[in-house]
Amino acid sequence: MVESTILLQTSGLSRRFGGLHAVDGVDLQIRQGAIHCIIGPNGAGKSTLFNLISGMLAPSSGTVTFRDRNVTGKPPHAISRLGMARSFQTPRVFPSLSTLDHVLLASREQPHDCPKAQDALRQVGLEEREAISAGDLAHGEKKRLELAMALAMRPALILLDEPTAGMNAHETEAIAGIVREVAAATTVVVIEHDIDFVRGIADVVTVLHKGRVLREGTIGEIEQDEEVRRVYLGEDW
């Protein structure tokens, strides 16, 4: 079987904050078409890694390659134009703007002709909430709205930072279905703490610990790994 194309790669990627190595020499390969989950305890460097990949932080050392281009240290808008989108742990919405307005901003379409925006809202189940002000949406709906905004950009790669944070079991199951649907056309990288959610979606799992890659493999391999079990003793494994 021919291996899929490497869409994103980091080599020796590091970020220091004074004496703290938040990300420490991370080598990562994201293959096209995969759902790749990144897990680890608080402080493992997961969100910092996303910030380095998406251009929100410049690395102290190392490189980021996306679609065969060196994007190390480039600003977020430049990386976004190459086909990368992301969401955040805490939804970033404008309370007075409607749901549809948010997605139109992402798709750069006009209200009278917006197939990308309408399709994105349908994918996340917000098509009947398009006229609602974002400030009036429930927490889970705001998380879906951020995902819709990312989808409306029609990216090659989506980075999702804890997409199920603060959601109940029913909402989490719905998001898993959405991510699987999205992955039919777009490569997805997910930071997540909910191991049940990861079990249901992941093709590949990378475990970060103290800013470094501890292990990588299938979720079955990760859960059976003795070192991972030792590191996460007392957590929900």
| pTM, rounded to two decimals | 0.91
Measured CA to CA, the distance from residue 98 to residue 148 in angstroms comes to: 13
* Confidence (pLDDT) at 101: 96
Burial of 184 (0-12, 13-18, 19+ CB in 10 A): exposed
Tens digit of each residue's pLDDT, the chain (237 residues) = 346 799 999 999 999 999 899 999 999 999 999 999 999 988 899 999 999 999 999 999 999 999 999 999 999 999 999 999 999 888 889 999 999 999 999 999 998 899 999 999 999 999 999 999 999 999 999 999 999 999 999 999 999 999 998 888 999 999 999 999 999 999 999 999 888 999 999 999 999 999 999 999 999 999 889 888 887 644 544
Our count of domains for the chain comes to 1
| Residue 122 located in a structural domain | yes
Measured CA to CA, the distance from residue 120 to residue 67 in angstroms comes to: 23
What range does the domain containing 147 cover? Answer: 94-153
Q: For the sheet with 157-161, list strands across it.
A: 84-86, 157-161, 187-191, 35-39, 204-209, 212-217
Burial of 48 (0-12, 13-18, 19+ CB in 10 A): buried
| Residue 50 located in a structural domain | no
Nearest residue to 237 (alpha-carbon basis) of 202, 194, 203: 194
Is residue 132 within 8 Å of 99, Cβ to Cβ? yes
Neighbours of 234 (CB within 10 A): 5
| Residue 214 located in a structural domain | no
| Residue 103 located in a structural domain | yes
| Residue 235 located in a structural domain | no
| Residue 191 located in a structural domain | no
| Residue 116 located in a structural domain | yes
| Residue 111 located in a structural domain | yes
